[in-house]
Amino acid sequence: MKKFFFVFSWFLLSTSAILLGSSAYSFYFIAKDNSPSKFEVAKLPKIQSPQDSKGQAQLVTTVIESEDARGQIIAKFLERYNSPMKPYDFYGKKIVEIADRYGIDFRLLPAIAMQESGLCKNQNPNAPHNCLGFGIHKSGTLDFDSYEDGFERAGRELKAYYIDRGLVTVEQIESKYTPSSNGSWASSVNQWMAEMRYDDRQMGREMKNNANVMEFAKENK
């Protein structure tokens, strides 16, 4: 009888151990299959943590994740406001190229163009390619052969005569670019830059700040 009891107990313990081991094995592989891969983690967007009016951190997604996205961000900005600069993809890439050539934030030139001319919609008929209000004086307004030439000239001179001389925020640039402004010019340019950062019109209004125009500049080696 005692022998039978030991055999029966051994059988129960062995069966329980096998069942527990099988369950643990299955749970391990289910959990492993459901865990995020390196590729999935790499696709997660960057998170900004600005402060709200009460000083509490907010989680806000920014769409600027790679250089490849920049041209499309500008293209969507041009399309959103029905700019005559078409095709939008072409000018989005072109403006990024100009920004990279002079080492400035890719959002600066389109933001100024939006403020000065509604992205080239509200133009002086005698200067149809001067979208950035550049070279306006008593004797007339400077014009260019193409939109690209206008952005090229503005990018070059903003870098040489503003940024390289220490004017690296929108408010600092305003003090020289349009000194008669009472801050409204800088406020608007900051809004457009924030809008492109988040690719969202409302976010542009809510998240604008005095942007550093070197924030998303590409370093020239």
User: Residue 4 — pLDDT band, cuts 50, 70, 90?
Assistant: very low
Q: What is the pLDDT of residues 55-99, one digit of tens each?
A: 444 445 566 555 579 999 999 999 999 999 999 999 999 999 999
Residue extents of the structural domains in the chain: 2-35, 66-207
Sign of the four-CA dihedral 210, 168, 103, 181: positive
pTM (2 d.p.): 0.72
20: pLDDT strictly greater than 50: no
Residue 119, Ramachandran bin (φ over 0: left; ψ between -120 and 50: alpha; else beta)? left
The topology under which CATH files domain 66-207 is Lysozyme (1.10.530)
Locate the DSSP E strands across 65-207: 136-137, 140-141
